Amino acid sequence: MSQPPITEAESAPEGQLRQGGRSLLLALYTVLRSLKMYPVENATVQKALDDLDVSARTLLKSEVELEIRMAGDFLFVNATRLRVELDNYASFSHILAMLRAFDIGVLHVRSGMERREWQIFLSLLLSLSQQGEPEERLEELQDRLEAAKVTHLELERAQAEGGSSQESRHQAKRVYAESVAVTRDVVAGVRLGRGPRLKRVKRAVQLVVDQVLNNEMSMVGMTTVRDYDEYTFTHSVNVCVFSVALGKKLGFSKLQLYELGMTALLHDVGKARVPAEILNKVGGLEDREWKFIQQHPWMGALTLFGMRAYEEIPYRSILVAHEHHMKVDLTGYPKAIRPRTLGIFSRIVAVADGFDAATTRRVYNTTAIEPDQVLKEMWDNPKRGYDRVVVKALINLIGVYPVGTCVILDTLEVGVVAAPNPDGQQLSRPLVRIAVDVDGATVPLPGNQVSLTEKDESGAFKRSIVKVTNPARFGLTPGDYFV
């Protein structure tokens, strides 16, 4: 049973909802975790319940009802997608796992929800999560909630989904988190002057390569986990993922991809020697500071030379650390003394690096640019100094959704890409046939065709693609839309 959609006018601003939603989920997680360790009357549990109650009430003041919906690996609170970042990764995964254990797709929390009801609900979740089959657990939970007079909470069963793509996404998350941990370890090692655990780095890179080969989109999708506090680490991992995916498109063998991935992960290792206050500085850099940053390529090369003493580092890693800002016409830095041709590894890493840097928000007050605009600039402006073949591969990887791709939109609608946008500049805004509407109902064939360039009165796009999905999860056969 779904409520009428909440209009813009009566709902909280999106940022506030996102913030409130995150606090609510964190509070939920804290109660679950403390309940696991202590009896319910324990002060820690009671304090966590207080926090949860306050957090839910605050949100319910501005929202008529809270709808926490799980769609794939995303959590939406009243149609606002919550960003998964590294600091809330644990709470998100835990809550997603809990909802899955009961096959819960949507949780409705109504105004008037009491602290007592939260306590009963969460205690039941914990005690029942280990019993029986997921299909039966939800029934049992609902019965018990009813018996305990929990009336402000309603649970809806998740829609059926395909197991393999789900598993793939979990795997991609694990691989991503491990790669971030490894990168953090390498950077800390360089700062402290100790040798890195290169075996661990190699294993992490192999996992990335395997995952890209198995399910490219699941891994590329992870690069949208962007957290400016962790920028140094997520940037290196993103550059690794993009580089490996590009290498795959360019026909690299698995062994070459391992080497490319390793090289990409370490491309900015020289930044570990640049003082953090310069790296994270908000606003413009002074000449002296800029010079310092420009030293990171050769500092990286030197650092990697040093590491060769510990274990084997591919020679190409040293080259890429040195060359990745040179640009194909050698107008970048460091200045090349003699004419040279950049190696293919350096060209790939430079493209992956440029794309990730431009689409990520690095510090407060800097804004990320839309991926399609970044791609356009990389393609159109020769001064950027990127290799066009590699940029073309990147456009194929990210910018163009092939016809028949099933996509989830930010409106919660699901669509099938019907045609590229007639305006060739709008790489990420194809024509889409809506197959599943906002309420989750299937639209009769052939669906309602819309252009993702349509804007509302305020000039904002009406619909944007959130992610590519597996059509089987929604019972769709893309071919049906093109007869």
Closer CB to Fe ion, 231 or 252, in the complex = 231
Check binding of 353 to Fe ion (CB under 5 A): yes
Give me the residue label for tokens 């019993």: 131
Closer CB to Fe ion, 268 or 323, in the complex = 268
Burial (CB count within 10 angstroms: exposed 0-12, middle 13-18, buried 19+), residue 358: middle
Check binding of 156 to Fe ion (CB under 5 A): no
Closer CB to Fe ion, 17 or 320, in the complex = 320
Closer CB to Fe ion, 54 or 274, in the complex = 274
**Cβ burial 275-313 (10 Å sphere, 16+ → b, else e):** eeebbeeeeeeeeebeebbbbbbebbbbbbeebeeeeeb
Give me the residue label for tokens 């794309």: 355
Exposure on the CB side of residue 15, measured as CA atoms within 13 A: 0
Give the integer Cα–Cα distance in Å for 448 and 210. Answer: 38
Q: Segment contacting Fe ion (CB under 5 A): 17-25, 58-66, 68-76, 267-275?
A: 267-275
In whole angstroms, how close is the CB of 117 to Fe ion at the nearest point? 49
In whole angstroms, how close is the CB of 218 to Fe ion at the nearest point? 23
480 CA to centre of own chain: 30
Q: Segment contacting Fe ion (CB under 5 A): 3-11, 266-274, 405-413, 459-467?
A: 266-274
Q: Segment contacting Fe ion (CB under 5 A): 67-75, 241-249, 260-268, 419-427?
A: 260-268
Check binding of 117 to Fe ion (CB under 5 A): no
Neighbours of 363 (CB within 10 A): 13
Q: Which of 420, 87, 327, 31 is nearest to 227 (CA)?
A: 87
Q: Segment contacting Fe ion (CB under 5 A): 185-193, 217-225, 349-357, 474-482?
A: 349-357
Give the integer Cα–Cα distance in Å for 236 and 239. Answer: 5
Sheet holding 74-77, edge to edge: 80-81, 74-77, 65-71, 104-110, 153-157
Q: Segment contacting Fe ion (CB under 5 A): 31-39, 185-193, 348-356, 371-379?
A: 348-356
Closer CB to Fe ion, 298 or 379, in the complex = 298
Q: Segment contacting Fe ion (CB under 5 A): 263-271, 310-318, 329-337, 395-403?
A: 263-271
Q: Three-state DSSP class for 68?
A: strand
In whole angstroms, how close is the CB of 321 to Fe ion at the nearest point? 8
Closer CB to Fe ion, 227 or 268, in the complex = 268
Q: Which of 153, 100, 92 is nearest to 122 (CA)?
A: 153
How big is the chain by its Cα radius of gyration, in Å?
Answer: 24
Give me the residue label for tokens 């360039």: 453
In whole angstroms, how close is the CB of 138 to Fe ion at the nearest point? 46
In whole angstroms, how close is the CB of 387 to Fe ion at the nearest point? 16
In whole angstroms, how close is the CB of 372 to Fe ion at the nearest point? 21
Closer CB to Fe ion, 334 or 420, in the complex = 334
Closer CB to Fe ion, 41 or 277, in the complex = 277
Give the integer Cα–Cα distance in Å for 154 and 150. Answer: 9
Q: Three-state DSSP class for 105?
A: strand
In whole angstroms, how close is the CB of 325 to Fe ion at the nearest point? 6
The encoded tokens of residue 225 equal 């986990």
Check binding of 323 to Fe ion (CB under 5 A): no
Q: Segment contacting Fe ion (CB under 5 A): 9-17, 134-142, 310-318, 351-359?
A: 351-359
Closer CB to Fe ion, 279 or 412, in the complex = 279
Residues 48-54: contacts with CB within 8 Å, 24+ apart?
49/115, 49/118, 49/119, 50/115, 51/27, 52/24, 52/27, 52/28, 52/115, 52/118, 53/114, 53/115, 53/118
Q: Report whether 95 contacts 73 (CB < 8 A).
A: no
Q: Cα-Cα-Cα-Cα dihedral of 205, 206, 208, 212, to 10°?
A: 140
In whole angstroms, how close is the CB of 20 to Fe ion at the nearest point? 34
Closer CB to Fe ion, 141 or 225, in the complex = 225
In whole angstroms, how close is the CB of 399 to Fe ion at the nearest point? 21
Closer CB to Fe ion, 53 or 356, in the complex = 356
Q: Segment contacting Fe ion (CB under 5 A): 87-95, 201-209, 245-253, 345-353?
A: 345-353
Size of the site for Fe ion (CB under 5 A): 2
In whole angstroms, how close is the CB of 121 to Fe ion at the nearest point? 46
Check binding of 268 to Fe ion (CB under 5 A): yes
Exposure on the CB side of residue 255, measured as CA atoms within 13 A: 1
In whole angstroms, how close is the CB of 211 to Fe ion at the nearest point? 21
Residues that bind Fe ion (CB under 5 A): 268, 353
